[in-house]
A and B are shown apart, each in its own frame.
Chain A
Amino acid sequence: MRHLTYLSVLGICLLSAVWLEPVLRVGVVRQWRRLVSTLVPIVVVFSLWDVVAIAAGHWHYDTGQILGVVLPGHLPLEEVLFFVVVPLCAILGFEAVRKVTRWR
């Protein structure tokens, strides 16, 4: 089960924000084209940053706590998912704040 550690953290992170979609009707997932257009460049650019950082030795991952699916550049699959989950949670939070406060 230890190999699911990173994936579990991402799952809990997603669950902590995704309820905003049905409960506050923020309409983030509903605007899926806008969401995909936002997430694709973010995933690409930050995955590249990650690959460079791994190559430069800034950080590495405990192979015992990840699935072991590794993409080119020694990039664990969880890292790519991180760049989907975290931005999605941030957008959900931002739209929830805008909805509740009516601020721009």
Chain B
Amino acid sequence: MALTYTVAAGVGVLLAVGLDLVVLRTRVLGRRAFWATYPIVLVFQLVFNGILTGRGVVRYDPHTIMGARIVHAPVEDLVFGFALVLATLSLWVWWGERADRA
């Protein structure tokens, strides 16, 4: 299987989920605060990523993506963004809870 952006994004989100649920056990995915935050982040991502991709600041090789686009951006970008936000919040919560225990 070629390492397309589609594959990389899928692996990335699985790693982020694994970080949250298995490695750090922060269970951000089980928190209402996360699911209330993510839609807000998503709206901003659609706006700013839409500008970047719409103006062609970032350009994608059509052979490495599925081709479905939302506000100019390939759907893979949404998966990438989800992995970025989840990994970030998992680490942030982990460092916070570590400080609380100390």
Contacts and interface: CB of A to CB of B under 8 A. Distances in A.
- Do A and B pair up? The answer is yes
Interface of A: 5-6, 9, 12-13, 16-17, 31, 34-35, 37-39, 41-42, 45-46, 49, 52-53, 56-62, 65-66, 83, 86-87, 89-91, 93-94, 97-98, 101, 103-104
A58 B8 contact: yes
A79 B30 CA distance: 30
B5 A53 contact: yes
28 contacts: A6-B57, A9-B52, A13-B44, A35-B92, A38-B92, A38-B95, A41-B91, A45-B87, A52-B3, A53-B8, A56-B64, A57-B61, A58-B64, A59-B61, A61-B58, A62-B57, A89-B41, A90-B37, A90-B84, A90-B88, A91-B89, A91-B92, A93-B40, A97-B33, A97-B37, A97-B40, A103-B33, A104-B31
Interface string B8-20: 1000100000000
A59 B5 contact: yes
B37 A94 contact: yes
Interface string B43-73: 0110010011001111111001100000000
A9 B5 contact: no
A103 B61 contact: no
Given A5-B57, A6-B57, A103-B31, A93 B48 contact: no
Contacts of B60: 58-59
B4 to A, nearest CB: 7
Given A34-B92, A59-B59, A97 B36 contact: yes
Given A53-B5, A58-B64, A34 B57 contact: no
Nearest to B96: A34
Residue among B12, B33, B60 with most chain A CB within 10 A: B33
Nearest to B44: A16
